[in-house]
Copies of this chain bind each other. A is one copy, B any other.
Amino acid sequence: MRTDYCGNIDVSYAGKEVTLYGWVNKRRDLGGVIFIDLRDREGIVQVVIDPDAAETFELASTLRNEFCVAITGLVCMRPDTQINKEMKTGEIEILGKQLSIFNSAPALPLDFNQDNSEEQRLKYRYLDLRRPLMTQRLVFRSKVTAAVRRFLEDGGFLDIETPILTKATPEGARDYLVPSRTHKGQFFALPQSPQLFKQLLMMSGMDKYYQIVKCFRDEDLRADRQPEFTQIDIETTFLDAEDVMAITEKMMRSLFTQLLNVDLGDFPTISYAEAMQRYGSDKPDLRNPLELVDVDDIVKDSDFKVFSGPANDEKGRVAAIRVPGGATLSRKQIDDYGKFVGIYGAKGLAWLKVNDLSKGVEGLQSPILKFFDEISITALLEKTGAQTGDILLFGADTKTIATDAMGALRLKLGEDFDLLEGEWCPLWVVDFPMFEEADGHLYALHHPFTAPRDSNIEALKANPADALSNAYDMVLNGVELGGGSVRIHNMDMQATVFKLLGITDEEANEKFGFLLEALRYGAPPHAGLAFGLDRMVMLMTGAESIRDVMAFPKTTTAACPLTNAPGFASPEQLAELSIATVIKADTKDSEKGAE
């Protein structure tokens, strides 16, 4: 029987015989001595095969990488010169006396010593996961879920499962459909979130609910998207936004303390409006010290129409970013930043270099200097806090474009100038607008079940565009970890919000009739939040993609190279499900309709 994991054998075992099971991480033959690095989930230990154990020695000489073996031997202190204090097992080695081989392995299709293609890594995922870095990530993920569960369970939250085979949910992304065999021509949808079910559970009196649950979105995948992803889903009854924020902030702090030995401290809270104004983002990375400074008031009377136009337009914005040390930027570099903001629709990027502040206007350099009087220039320098050696970069456009472009530029400059300070910067963003307006329509900024801060229905109807929602997002290092809201628990309010969103009575009844009905029967006030587990673990482990913190992710075309999913179904299966595949040569046609 195994004594312990390889990675746990340390000086406390010195002088003892141990039996270890694991994989050959490496075999080295040095001057007639065979060294085996034996690996398991917890780490690697060095084995020296006892040259006096002839049979074992002979067998050991057949070992190759990734053979699965059992080794029994004596734990010895390493010679002083070979001690590796970086490893838990670095002070000892095993004098291997007995060896047995559970299974051999041919040369591997993955080379653990270099990067392998993602396709190859996914096809041989069971090998890729043997790499200590990947193993540790899955171990860490398991620790995260265990810690989250204990925190919530100790807080009186019930783990309640909601259906996977359900009805289309209202998150707005594309649903995965599942044909029903018993109800011909009909389909289940896989849930994009358990939103409505968790609200119903609050109406059932379950009081505090949580679930770590798979959600599904059939979207075109980007680096950080997967067809199925995992949410830490939370809902509470009778609590307000501050209560839910306090509980979940405490949970996150406790996670970081337990698992990373990091004290996140109290999370600051800022409003959506402030976040957009200062950082040009609703999920600002506060490690980045750069800020957007509004200069509309200073430039609005200038002759420079590019600035004065937006500055005088209620829907325009002129914002500056001061980049410390940025005066060294070349014309080419500035031009590249100009192209970068172009991605966000900005037409250009004005700039002003502060070569020597003590020389007044003489010390400045900028193509737009001529448009401004000295008072304005002084005001610009003062408001932005410009110092010698800095550059000021200006965005002037519609509020949306200027904010987006300068927000993105802020992030890029922060990286390019290596400005990020502090390792972890969490915050809450609150006071989101209820609605976004586009093409004369209102859209829910969160989802249509989010309560407005002001529960007055008439006020909401009168001025929906200005209404704030009772929603809150938890942001860490520029990543939205989770978001939630107080939900509407009043049927009339819910019906009003549906109406404002342009959802007809018929559509509301068809899609959410059961929710409206449920709100009639003593529905309690309730509020909740959902965290993206994959993203959280990715951030905490420093992985670069959520694929690296999932055991069996899909490719960017939503396929699994390991199992070859998806695959073809038999005609019998399709017939039973009352469906047929319809593959048209002309994709445009097939986009128009199925028949």
Contacts and interface: CB of A to CB of B under 8 A. Distances in A.
Given A207-B41, A557-B182, A230 B161 contact: yes
Nearest to A589: B575
A566 B186 contact: yes
Interface string A519-555: 1111111000000000000000000000000111010
Given A162-B551, A580-B594, A177 B573 contact: yes
Given A39-B205, A216-B164, A578 B575 contact: no
A66 B125 CA distance: 53
Contacts of A218: 181
Contacts of A525: 102
A180 B558 contact: yes
A179 B568 CA distance: 10
B160 A138 contact: yes
A21 interface: yes
B566 A594 contact: no
A569 B180 CA distance: 11
A23 interface: yes
B583 A582 contact: no
Total copies of the chain: 2
A167 B576 contact: no
A19 to B, nearest CB: 10
Contacts of A564: 167, 514
A177, A182, A205, A584 — most chain B CB neighbours (10 Å): A205
Contact of A551 (B160, B237, B574, B595): B160
Interface string A185-207: 11111100000110011011111
A565 B103 contact: no
Interface residues of A, number: 126
27 contacts: A5-B207, A40-B205, A68-B522, A103-B489, A126-B200, A126-B203, A129-B204, A129-B205, A135-B204, A135-B206, A142-B158, A165-B216, A165-B227, A166-B565, A167-B564, A174-B181, A187-B568, A189-B565, A571-B595, A572-B591, A574-B594, A575-B582, A575-B591, A578-B584, A578-B590, A579-B582, A580-B582
Interface of A: 2, 5, 21-24, 39-41, 66-68, 102-106, 108, 124-127, 129-130, 135, 138-139, 141-142, 145-146, 149-150, 153, 158-168, 174-190, 196-197, 200-201, 203-207, 214, 216, 218, 227-228, 230, 237-238, 489-490, 514, 518-525, 550-552, 554, 557-560, 562-569, 571-584, 590-595
Among all A-B residue pairs, the 5 with the closest Cβ atoms: A129-B204, A186-B566, A167-B565, A68-B522, A574-B594
